[in-house]
Amino acid sequence: MPRPYDAALIRAWEEGWKHGSENDHPKEFPENQCYVVFVQEHGGQDLGKLCVTIALAVAEAAYEFEHRSTLVYLPFNLLLGTFLLSRKDSETLQFTLEGRNISIRTFGLVVSIIDFTLSRINTVKIFFFLDLSLDPELFEGPKGDKQVRQSIRYIPKMKEVTEDRWEGSFPKTNVLWLQYLVDILLLKKSYDRTSKDERDLRSLKKRLNNYNSAREATLILFFKDLFVDHAM
């Protein structure tokens, strides 16, 4: 039996809205609107600069996951709000990637990916995707600052990769997402980085052109120091 959006959830949404949100207010949806509630621990602060390639690779390999969202125009603070960054006592984190247990260095930081509005996932039992071809306005971001121009550059690439058939599995979109994130980090001027950091990021963006999935991208030498097991 469909239930309207709970009043407690609306209050929580409105409290979060005070800090900025591009999402529609729950009251704008009909009572039979389906929704999912994710219950998690406090994930930490928005991610400002950290590689999320491994997290993508694991979800991609296990569930054909594609995030897709950041290739549609988002203000910088909301783009980075699709990741949460928290501190943990452990300096390493265990992952299972394609049946292999691997360990990566986290330097005491853990990343969680959130905001799956436009994402695709296939768990075999359940299959979700959003047909973006039905909403072409998503691909018409406002023109103006450098970030918007970067977004517009990548949007046609995602449509080209999927051939506008969004139900299919196209892990290359995750690679495009990583390239877009690198571009935005390069545009962001309010965090400390050296000239070498910038060169490394530009090199990473270029090398990503050679890969068709986040899993393949983990092989890039740029990430080699993250792995405890260099046999990856």
The string of DSSP letters for 67-130 reads --GGGS---HHHHHTTEEEEE-S-SEEEEEETTEEEEEE-TTEEEEE---TT-BEE-SS-EE--
Say how many domains are in the chain: 2
Is residue 209 situated within a structural domain? yes
Structural domain includes residue 139: yes
Regarding whether 127 and 31 lie in a shared domain, the answer is no
Same domain, 91 and 24: no
Q: Does some domain include residue 231?
A: no
For residues 135-161, one letter each, b for 16 or more C-beta atoms within 10 angstroms of the residue's C-beta and e for the rest, the string is: eeebbebeeeeebeebbbebbebbbeb
Give residue 94's domain range: 44-226
Q: Cα separation of 11 and 97, whole Å?
A: 39
The rounded distance, in Å, linking the Cα atoms of 10 and 26 is 7
Backbone CA torsion sign across 185, 105, 192, 200: negative
Q: Do the domain assignments include residue 157? A: yes
Within a domain: 54: yes
Confirm whether 8 is domain-assigned: yes
pLDDT the model gives residue 169: 96
Query: What pLDDT shows up at residue 211?
Result: 92
Shared domain check, 177 and 116: yes
Tell whether 48 and 20 lie within a shared domain: no
- Tokens 């930490």 sit on residue: 44
71/115 same-domain check: yes
Q: Which pLDDT does position 148 carry in this prediction? A: 57
102 and 31 in a common domain: no
Tokens 């390069």 -> residue: 186
Asked, for residue 117, whether it belongs to a domain, the answer is yes
Q: Take residue 51 and report the two structure tokens written for it.
A: 């590689």
Strand partners, 109: 87
d(CA 111, CA 90): 13
Q: What is the pLDDT of residue 151?
A: 57
The pTM of this model reads 0.72
What would the two tokens of residue 189 be?
A: 């001027």
Does an H or E element contain 46, and which? strand 45-46
| Angstrom distances, CA of residue 192 to CA of 127, 150, 195 | 41, 22, 10
- Whether residues 129 and 32 fall in one domain: no
For tokens 């959003």, what's the residue?
Answer: 130
* Inter-residue contact 149 to 140 (CB < 8 Å): no
Residues 57 and 17 in one domain: no
pLDDT for the residue 102: 82
pLDDT for 76: 47
Query: In terms of domains, do 193 and 82 share one?
Result: yes
Q: Are 149 and 137 in contact (CB under 8 A)?
A: no
Domain at 68, CATH number:
1.10.510.10
Averaged pLDDT, groups of 10, the chain, 232 residues long: 72 70 73 70 48 82 86 50 73 84 80 81 91 80 56 76 94 91 75 80 88 88 68 48
Q: Is residue 232 part of a domain?
A: no
140 in the same domain as 32: no
Instruction: Based on the fold, state whether residues 72 and 151 are members of the same structural domain.
Output: yes
Residues 4 and 50 in one domain: no
